[in-house]
């Protein structure tokens, strides 16, 4: 501070302002004299804005929603209409992107209190709340109309149910009740119902069997996230864990074990509800036991490292399970049904 004061005192104010003006004018002239540089700067700004809007849509989650709808469509279809499949995935993805964008709009103040979300486009100020609101409304409206026009009314209604229950039930209840994960899992598993109705315009028992799988998968997945970032969630007043003031994680990991067991049971039950074969049944057991290993190890150590491994295992497990179901559907697993 002393050095800065001395420097300021030794420099006439008028001279300093003049030097700054000259420097700024020189920089402006340099930029204007180089169209390529100006275009590059504008292109960079546009590129960052596009990335920020994409970030609002939570692309990883939206991609998983689209995959879930697509898998359900494939299982329900006989034969598969590829054009309708594309319409289903696109429409469902638009609704999911709109819901994610509006969720970030509603939670922008809360996101600013948590370290892991404070650099998102809204709390960091890179995008305005108004821009996010308009983007979310537009995506949601286009997605719903897309499903209505290109698929059917039932799928569009399910999309609206998912959108509204996610935004106006799950989102506000995160700060009011520890049942929020349970309530959030209801719209969270709806994409498989949307995929099924897109193919058949009805909800058969097989659709509900797929729904049960995705519904149960969310508990070990989101409880692992909740344990990893429990301090962050507590700072923001988010009730993401199943017990009040839990320090040792006993209740959380008990819930993880129970729901993982139920998940494995649901994947095996699919053998008797949907037309899946014994190869699927055997491989689902192997895959389920592998996933349960990570859940069990996490329940023993209750550490952040074990929770992170469980989280990664959950992200790998679900696509592999989907792959098994699809391969079985098209007779690409070994031998007979």
Which pLDDT tens digit goes with each residue over 235-244? 888 988 887 6
Rounded mean pLDDT of 79-83? 95
The three state secondary structure string of 26-65 is HHHHHHHCCHHHHHHHHHHHHHHHHHHHHHHCCHHHHHHH
Give, in order, the Cα–Cα distances in Å from 206 to each of 200, 231, 273, 331: 12, 40, 6, 18
CATH assignment of 57-203, given 1.10.357.140, 3.40.50.1820, 1.20.1420.20, 1.20.120.1630? 1.10.357.140
DSSP assignments along 278-293, one per residue:
HHHHHHHHHHHHHHHH
Joined together, the tokens standing for residue 112 give: 């600013």
pTM for the whole thing? Answer: 0.85
Asked if residue 17 has pLDDT above 50, the reply is: no
User: What letter would DSSP give residue 336?
Assistant: -
| pLDDT at residue 130 in the model | 97
Which pLDDT tens digit goes with each residue over 259-298? 999 999 999 999 999 878 899 999 999 999 999 999 999 9
What are the residue boundaries of the structural domains of the chain, listed by start? 57-203, 204-337
User: CB of 291 within 8 A of CB of 260?
Assistant: yes
Which pLDDT tens digit goes with each residue over 295-325? 999 999 999 999 999 999 999 999 999 999 9
Please give the Cα distance from 89 to 68 (Å, whole number). 9
| pLDDT at residue 275 in the model | 77
Average pLDDT over the chain, rounded to an integer? 88
| pLDDT at residue 247 in the model | 73
| pLDDT at residue 253 in the model | 95
In the chain, alpha helices (H): 2-9, 13-32, 35-56, 59-76, 82-106, 108-111, 129-150, 153-165, 171-173, 180-188, 190-200, 205-228, 230-235, 250-273, 278-301, 304-329
| pLDDT at residue 41 in the model | 47
> CB neighbours of 47 closer than 8 A, spacing ≥ 6?
none
């Amino acid at each position: 501070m002393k050095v800065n004061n001395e420097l300021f005192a030794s420099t006439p104010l008028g001279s300093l302002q003049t030097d700054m003006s000259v420097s700024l004018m020189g920089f402006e002239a340099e930029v204007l004299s180089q169209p390529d540089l100006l275009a590059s700067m504008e292109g960079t700004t546009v590129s960052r804005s596009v990335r920020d809007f994409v970030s609002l849509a939570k692309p990883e989650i939206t991609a998983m929603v689209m995959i879930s709808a697509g898998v359900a469509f494939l299982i329900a279809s006989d034969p598969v209409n590829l054009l309708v499949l594309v319409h289903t995935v696109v429409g469902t993805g638009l609704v999911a992107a709109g819901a994610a964008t509006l969720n970030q709009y509603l939670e922008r103040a809360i996101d600013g209190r948590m370290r892991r979300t404070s650099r998102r486009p809204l709390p960091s100020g890179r995008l305005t709340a108004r821009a996010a609101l308009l983007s979310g409304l537009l995506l949601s409206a286009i997605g719903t109309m897309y499903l209505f026009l290109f698929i059917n009314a039932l799928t569009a209604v399910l999309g609206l149910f998912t959108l509204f229950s996610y935004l106006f039930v799950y989102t506000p209840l995160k700060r009011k009740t520890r049942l929020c994960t349970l309530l959030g899992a209801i719209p969270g598993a709806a994409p498989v119902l949307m995929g099924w109705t897109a193919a058949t315009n009805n909800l058969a028992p097989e659709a509900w069997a797929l729904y049960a799988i995705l519904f149960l998968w969310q508990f070990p997945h989101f409880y692992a996230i909740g344990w990893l970032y429990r301090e962050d969630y507590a700072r923001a007043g988010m009730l993401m864990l199943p017990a009040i003031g839990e320090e040792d994680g006993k209740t959380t990991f008990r819930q993880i074990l129970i729901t993982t067991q139920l998940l494995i049971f649901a994947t095996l039950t699919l053998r008797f509800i949907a037309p899946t074969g014994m190869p699927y049944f055997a491989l689902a057991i192997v895959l389920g036991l592998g996933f349960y290993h990570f859940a069990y190890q996490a329940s023993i150590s209750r550490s952040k490292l074990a929770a992170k491994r469980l989280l990664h295992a959950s992200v790998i497990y679900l696509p592999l399970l989907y792959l098994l179901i699809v391969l079985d559907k098209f007779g690409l697993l070994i031998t007979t049904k």
